[in-house]
Every structure is written in C-alpha cells, then in structure tokens.
Amino acid sequence: MPEVKARPEGCALVTGGSRGIGAAIAKSLARDGWPVVVNYRSDGEGAAGVVAAIEQEGGRAVSLAADVAGAAAADELFAGAESHFGVPVLALVNNAGISADNLFSMISDDEWQSVLDTNLTGAFRLTRRALKAMMRARFGRIVNISSVVGLRANPGQANYAAAKAGLIAMTKNVAVEVARRGITANAVAPGWIDTDMTAGLESGLSEAIPARRAGTPEEVAACVSFLASDGAGYVNGAVLTVDGGLAA
C-alpha cells in the first residue's frame, strides 16, 4: 500500500478572515479541528467576532492583523501563529483579496498594482514562507482562493482576473514542486458568492448562472475544508470551481 501521511499537529492560517468567504473558511476549518489564525487587514472587530464564534463552538482561534500586500506580513503572521499555538502552520488559505474594477482602458497603474500586490504577490510570499515548515513536517495543505474570473473573462475585471489566473498557475507549479513532500496546493474558484464584495452587483446576473442563485460563503468553505482534509491528500494542483455551473 502507498504511504498516506496523516496530519501532524499544526494550525491553519486564513488570510482575509474577518468576513465573507474568509470568515466562513475560518469557522469551517475550526470545526474540522484546526486551531485557526484569522488574519485581517482593517476589520479587527469582524475578526474578533469570527474568533468568538469559533471559541463558542469549542474551537481555537486567534486574530492577527497584517496587510498581506506588505513584504513583512508573511514573517509577522507565521511568527505570530507559531508563538500563539506552539505548532507550525500546516494549512494555509490564501483568501485575502481586493478588487478595483474598471474597464480595461481606464485601469490606473495603482488599480492594477494594488490588486496584483494583494491577490497574487501576497499569496506568493505567504506560500513561500509556509513551505518551510510544511517541507519539514512532510505535510501541508495550501488552498488558494481564485475565482471563475481567473478562468473566463468578466468585463471590468482585467486586473482582478489577471491576479486570479496567476494564482491558478502558481498553485499548479507549487503543487508539482512539493507534492513529494506530502504537500498539496489547490485552488478554489468561486463564482458569484453573496458577500460584501459582491453586494450591489446587478441581480440580473443570476440569469447567467445555471443554478439561478448566488452561492454562499459556506459553500466555498466546504470545498476548502475538503481540500485541507487528510482525505484530499491525492488531490493536487486542482482547480475546484464552486459557481453554480457558471464556468461549465
């Protein structure tokens, strides 16, 4: 029988975990038994609420502030996680993301760069940092929250789409480089999910979605929980769309 490694002791880090999809992921991973670091940039109150909700259910969590677009964020977050829980980060969910939508010709340098910095470069730096401990542990779960926009066009989101497509390519490369160390890297590509970020999107959009409704953050979180589980150890470099059939 091939050797299947069970999860050693470790914690999970969810970036952008104070609300929306990230908050649902943090709660879901906590239910799966992971001690969870809920990272946030500005919404400390939201993050504290997520931690309180997890603790109320008997889970363990801590909130840590950091802007993943910053060069020092990775070291700060990992040092904070390891010192708080006393175990390495063995599940990393790169969820933090921003959008700055504009028609292509109108995208400013800043709108381009800021979206790339947070959504792609931030994930790169955190993943690079995460691999140190994961390689030693011979176990790791990296889940990058991409988007269906990374798979097919959506007018007005070239910067966001480029970052999300970049995340998919990065995910696949990481997966093949470190698979032999028991580490998996997969992407989840949500479609239209009902969150603050999508509030105000035209309701007519649901006509284009085969499911005829928006998804919930919990439906995305369920995919992340699966990919972070021991049972998903042979799923690597995959893109799991959770979009009501939009990209099918």
List, by residue number, the catalytic residues: 160
Question: Quick one: 145 or 178, whose CB is closer to another protein?
Answer: 178
Least Å from the CB of residue 234 to another protein:
19
Determine which helix (DSSP H) or strand (DSSP E) holds 63, and give its type and residue range. strand 61-65
- Dihedral (CA of 201, 202, 208, 212) sign: positive
Q: Which residues of 191-211 are buried (b: 16+ CB within 10 A; e: fewer)?
A: bbbbbeebeeeeeeeeeebee
Question: Quick one: 5 or 136, whose CB is closer to another protein?
Answer: 136
Least Å from the CB of residue 135 to another protein:
5
Residues found near another protein in the complex (CB under 8 A) = 132, 135-136, 177-178, 180-181
Q: Which residues of 45-71 are buried (b: 16+ CB within 10 A; e: fewer)?
A: ebbebbbeebeeeebbbbbbbbbbbee
φ and ψ of 39, to 5 deg: -85, 145
Q: At what angle do helices 20-31 and 44-56 cross, to 10 degrees?
A: 20
Question: Quick one: 136 or 213, whose CB is closer to another protein?
Answer: 136
Question: Quick one: 14 or 137, whose CB is closer to another protein?
Answer: 137
Question: Quick one: 80 or 182, whose CB is closer to another protein?
Answer: 182
Least Å from the CB of residue 176 to another protein:
11
What is the number of residues in the chain? 248
The answer to whether the CB of 237 falls within 8 A of the CB of 171 is: yes
Least Å from the CB of residue 137 to another protein:
11
Least Å from the CB of residue 111 to another protein:
33
CA–CA gap between residue 161 and residue 169 (Å, rounded) = 12
